[in-house]
Chain A
């Protein structure tokens, strides 16, 4: 049970921002929100994670709703290399990362 809900797929145009949503309505107060992405035939790659506050790094930004029941991964300027499956994961007390189905992002040139 991945405990997060994401759209199956999304499309974006190159050099435009992308907002990838994730619902985690049953999240508990100590659960972290992680995002990973996976290119075909490769292992997943870490993108970003957070608890309550919005987070920024060189790859992306993570906007977490005030009630923490949803979050949005923001890619500020999509490139063709950003085309991947993006996984939003709730990391609970067991600390294991349990992957859901993710969102397949297509970036159009």
Chain B
């Protein structure tokens, strides 16, 4: 099946610095990717929809200036957590669909990125 790869899988950064997380579709093109965040023992929370060549669409309550999303190519979306603070520590996960039609198709998820802000 299709593969979505995230990098890094784990990162520790100092408070106030920025961290970039990459999400790549390895063997297919994805015009749309999704970013989720998951706190311990909680479910995935959708943060934003990343659209190739255009601005991301953020869910209500997600700060677009803090979580910068860039989808510059059909195989790469990046999430930058700017001025990270300890409360941003979480498990970040991306997903993509192999088909340009998202509905009625399976989503492929990355393995996730564990961010720890100290």
Contacts and interface: CB of A to CB of B under 8 A. Distances in A.
A45 B109 CA distance: 7
B96 to A, nearest CB: 11
A43 B95 contact: yes
Contacts, number: 53
Nearest to B105: A49
B67 interface: no
Nearest to B111: A43
A89 to B, nearest CB: 10
Contacts of A46: 106-108
B91 A41 contact: yes
Given A43-B109, A44-B109, A96-B34, A101 B43 contact: yes
B114 A41 contact: yes
B104 interface: yes
Contact of B44 (A45, A95, A99): A99
Interface-centre pick from B44, B45, B108 (highest chain A CB count, 10 A):
B44
Range of interface residues on A (Cβ < 8 Å): 20 to 34
Contact of B112 (A42, A51, A95, A102): A42
A44 B94 CA distance: 10
A65 interface: no
Contacts of A95: 102-103
Contacts of B34: 96-97
Nearest to B32: A95
B103 A91 contact: yes
Contacts of A36: 107, 109
A98 interface: yes
Interface string B25-61: 0000000001010000001111001000000000000
Contacts of A99: 36, 43-46
